[in-house]
Amino acid sequence: MSLDRRDTTLSGDIKLYDPRDGSQKPYAGAAFTAASGGVTTALVADAQGHFVSKVTVHGTDGDPVYDPRGGKLLGWETAVSLSTEANGKKEQARAAVPVTPVEARIALDSTTVTGPYATRGKVGGSFTWKAADGTWKPAPGAMVLAIHSDSVATDTAGRFTWSRELTEDTSWRVSEWNAWVSAESQDVKVDVTGGTSFPSLTAKVDRNKIVRLLGEFNRGQIPAGINAVTVEVQYSADGKTGWTTRQKVEDYIGFPMSGVHKLRTALPYPGPGFVRMRYAGTPDINGSVSSPVQVVPRTETAIPEFNAAPEPVKKGKPITLTGKLTQADPARKPLAGQYVHYYFRPAGSTEWKAVGYSFTGADGTFTRKYTATQSGSWSARYQVTDEAHYVSSSRVDEVVVTP
């Protein structure tokens, strides 16, 4: 069996087994199938359950055959799957077919690959085999080749293409490991120059309207003498056009000079839109840009109502703080179940002191009582927010405490 000679003759017997007494008898006229390479052929046994059938082997599947005693490679074989059915029960068997490899050759489009670090290097070529009449023919579709640590299949024209991220100067071997062909392996020399990439970027708006960015900056093969590179943080309203640089971040080159580095930075919320990280590059270092990340804003909040009463108040008497916390979307809807913290600033002082907190009710209102000790200013702040809201502060209410 070879690519030149695809036909083979299978012979055997099909018998019926009787579980009642363990006897076997010929399965007269048994209908069965022979399948290989995704093609199924219908066959029939004779009156004695015997068959001698000529079949065509399809596909390019095959397995090595080793000496069980010494592990030496003895040859190659493919298989035809036989299947039949009787009384609702299916039975299958594997028929091994020896394969004789034919001469083949791998022709590379190029024996070298050059490109910047973190880009993809491409290997392409053709795979042909020598027929009995001396002509060279394209390898059948899906003939599998090994390239480096991966595998790739040829197309119907015997062509193959493969790509891999460039990370280091090395070589990639292109070889066959197939029952049907025998070809000399080819090597591709890989030369990597300086380059960069941004594998990932996240951007999140915090409660104080600050965008926190965390990017992975992948760089390698950086030429000696370069101590840092400048990465830009850019903004665009639609994530496609009008990118403007809002910040620059210095990424210092340490040891090792290659690998993924974490870039953390922050900038004021620029408005609805998208952000990205970009390295412009130099003649010696390939530039790159991250995928755009949408900046999802939080909802504005407000404390439109706040009062400290009574005013004035006698020392030692209670002073009551009341107010209401709302959110902008939906329009001024009460914000329930949230912490509101209270602050006091004594008269003549510039320092605010946290004095306690309470929770907002279903209607967004809050209240808290304190004992009046001295004149000063009171304020309420929504500062321990959930993930969906910004902080907000009330007006300042001054209260005079009398003796």
Q: CA-CA distance, 9 to 93, in Å (whole number)?
A: 16
The range of the structural domain enclosing residue 141 comes to 102-193
> Are residues 15 and 88 both part of a single domain?
yes
CA dihedral 24, 25, 29, 30 (to 10 degrees): 0
> Are residues 167 and 211 both part of a single domain?
no
pLDDT at residue number 15:
94
> Are residues 308 and 285 both part of a single domain?
no
pLDDT at residue number 224:
87
Residue 1 lies in a domain: no
Residue 2 lies in a domain: no
The CATH code of the domain that includes 340 is: 2.60.40.730
**pLDDT tens, residue order, the chain (403 aa):** 899 999 999 999 999 998 888 899 999 999 999 999 889 999 999 999 999 999 999 988 888 899 888 889 888 899 999 999 998 899 999 999 999 999 999 999 999 999 999 999 999 999 999 999 999 999 887 888 999 989 999 998 999 999 999 999 999 999 988 889 999 999 999 999 999 999 999 999 999 999 999 999 999 999 988 889 999 999 999 999 999 999 999 988 765 555 678 899 999 999 999 999 999 999 999 999 999 999 999 999 999 999 999 999 999 999 999 999 999 877 789 999 999 999 999 999 999 999 999 999 999 999 999 999 999 999 999 999 999 999 999 999 999 999 9
Residue 254 lies in a domain: yes
pLDDT at residue number 286:
97
The β-bridge relationship of strands 186-193 and 112-116 is parallel
> Are residues 206 and 291 both part of a single domain?
yes
Residue 289 lies in a domain: yes
pLDDT at residue number 259:
63
Residue 360 lies in a domain: yes
pTM, full prediction: 0.74
Tokens of 53: 């059938």
> Are residues 352 and 333 both part of a single domain?
yes
Chain mean position to CA 92: 41
The CATH code of the domain that includes 183 is: 2.60.40.10
> Are residues 239 and 266 both part of a single domain?
yes
> Are residues 281 and 233 both part of a single domain?
yes
> Are residues 307 and 359 both part of a single domain?
yes
- Residues 6+ positions from 204 with CB-CB distance below 8 Å: 211, 212, 296
pLDDT at residue number 74:
86
The CATH code of the domain that includes 73 is: 2.60.40
> Are residues 177 and 211 both part of a single domain?
no
Residue 14 lies in a domain: yes
- Residues 6+ positions from 348 with CB-CB distance below 8 Å: none
Q: CA-CA distance, 244 to 235, in Å (whole number)?
A: 5
Tokens of 189: 């020399």
Residue 271 lies in a domain: yes
Q: Which of 173, 193, 213 is the last residue of a domain?
A: 193
pLDDT at residue number 257:
53
Q: Which of 234, 268, 295 is the last residue of a domain?
A: 295
Q: CA-CA distance, 210 to 189, in Å (whole number)?
A: 48
Q: CA-CA distance, 99 to 117, in Å (whole number)?
A: 43
pLDDT at residue number 255:
53
> Are residues 254 and 279 both part of a single domain?
yes
Q: CA-CA distance, 154 to 48, in Å (whole number)?
A: 44
> Are residues 186 and 249 both part of a single domain?
no
Domain count, the chain: 4
pLDDT at residue number 181:
92
Q: Which of 166, 193, 220 is the last residue of a domain?
A: 193
Q: Is the distance from CB of 118 to CB of 103 less than 8 angstroms?
A: no
> Are residues 69 and 113 both part of a single domain?
no
Residue 277 lies in a domain: yes
